Amino acid sequence: MGVTLKDIADQVGVSYETVSRALNNRGRVGPETAKRIREMATTMGYSPNALARGLRIKNTKTLGVIFPCIYENEFYAGIYRGLEDAVIDRGYVIFLCNSNFENEREAAYLRTLGSRRVDAVVMALADHHEVETSPNAAQIAHIRTSLDIPVVLVDRYVHALRTDYVSSDHAGGAESIVEHLVQLGHRRIACILSDRTTSVDERHEAYLAVLRRHALPYLPQWTIQTTEIEFGAGRVGMKQLQELPPAERPTAVFVTNDLGAIGAMQMANDLGLQVPRDLSVVGFDDLRQAATLPVPLTTVRQNLREIGRRTGQLLLARLEEKSLAPDDLQQIRVPTELVLRESTAPPRRN
């Protein structure tokens, strides 16, 4: 295997991006740093990939999309439709890849898309428990810097990757739904985290911010983080909350996605509780089944097609309009909508 930009960066003690800028005479790099990078590249026998460079001069009109689940999943299907709407009339062909929430499969698709020299990669990361990094961080950085292929993360962000990012306004949506519970009169409000991602973290921080703003009580045991995700997290979290002493049990529960909220409502029913008479439950996403449950779910609607459309527009700005510099990374937040249904009501008076 030949010497990569990452190898040079590790030796010099700088970032991938700095090495790429220095060797391609692009962007600002101090003269002394640039000199050290070029000398190290010569010493290590670095040879730039002329084929990759040549192909970047002319777009291949192909995009790679890697989503964790593309079968019977309306969330990613909605984002994909918006992306396709934005780019299809510009002559782009999309390679759609299903990682199945598996890091190894995601890595294989990244290698394939890089070798095909797609014009850009759009990703929703497979690992739903990483916030600071990704098991495939080095490979994503290689695609961005060595191959000069833009990467856009959708739905959630990972701090170490330094890419463009398009998602819902997670904090704004969570704030609106917790505020709704407060206005109904709830004072003991719990939060079940459906997984561990930046989007879920933002929703949880917004929940805490609303409690602080209204000077409401908060107990650490009202935030439930389990090893389960989605449906399972809701069931486990609701059971834990109902095992608290009666005086500590919440009157309302914010679950950070709809599948988790559905699991929480089912567990509440199994425990003999009626929603919303005994307990209000809210979610986040507005999946189709949220409106057709025995007790329709109050939730936050994400504009999935708009997320996809804005992602497509961002790519066109980079690939065709050339209006964004490589280091001018974008973070785009798409507004959400509060959807009121029958799963919430004022708390019962004891």
Q: What is the pLDDT of residue 161?
A: 82
Selected residue with higher pLDDT from 306 and 58: 306
Angle at CA of residue 52, ends 46 and 53, nearest 5°: 80
Selected residue with higher pLDDT from 19 and 319: 319
User: The domain 5-48: what is its CATH number?
Assistant: 1.10.260.40
* pLDDT band for position 246 (cuts 50, 70, 90): very high
Tell me where in the chain the CATH 3.40.50.2300 domain(s) lie.
Answer: 58-168+304-334, 170-302
Q: What is the pLDDT of residue 48?
A: 60
Distance CA 1, CA 3 (A): 7
Residue 132 has pLDDT above 80, yes or no: no
Residue 2 has pLDDT above 80, yes or no: no
Q: What is the pLDDT of residue 54?
A: 45
pLDDT above 70 as % of the chain: 93
**pLDDT tens-digit map of 6-55:** 888 888 888 878 888 787 766 678 888 888 888 888 777 776 654 454 44
Averaged pLDDT, 317-334? 87
State the CB neighbour count (10 A cutoff) for residue 83.
Answer: 28
Q: What is the pLDDT of residue 160?
A: 78
Averaged pLDDT, 144-148? 85
Q: What is the pLDDT of residue 57?
A: 47
Q: What is the pLDDT of residue 348?
A: 87
Residue with tokens 């449950």: 293
166-180, 315-329, 336-350: least confident range: 315-329
Q: What is the pLDDT of residue 129?
A: 62
For residue 300, give the nearest of 349, 346, 334 by alpha carbon.
334
pLDDT above 90 as % of the chain: 62
Distance CA 280, CA 277 (A): 7
Residue 167 has pLDDT above 70, yes or no: yes
Averaged pLDDT, 206-225? 96
- Who's near 177: CB < 8 A, 6+ residues apart? 254, 282, 284, 298, 299, 300, 338
**Is the CA virtual torsion 125, 131, 137, 141 positive or negative?**
positive
The domain 170-302 is classified under which CATH number: 1.10.260.40, 3.40.50.1820, 3.90.1150.10, 3.40.50.2300?
3.40.50.2300
Q: What is the pLDDT of residue 177?
A: 98
CATH class of 58-168+304-334: alpha beta
Tell me where in the chain the CATH 1.10.260.40 domain(s) lie.
Answer: 5-48
pTM for this structure?
0.79
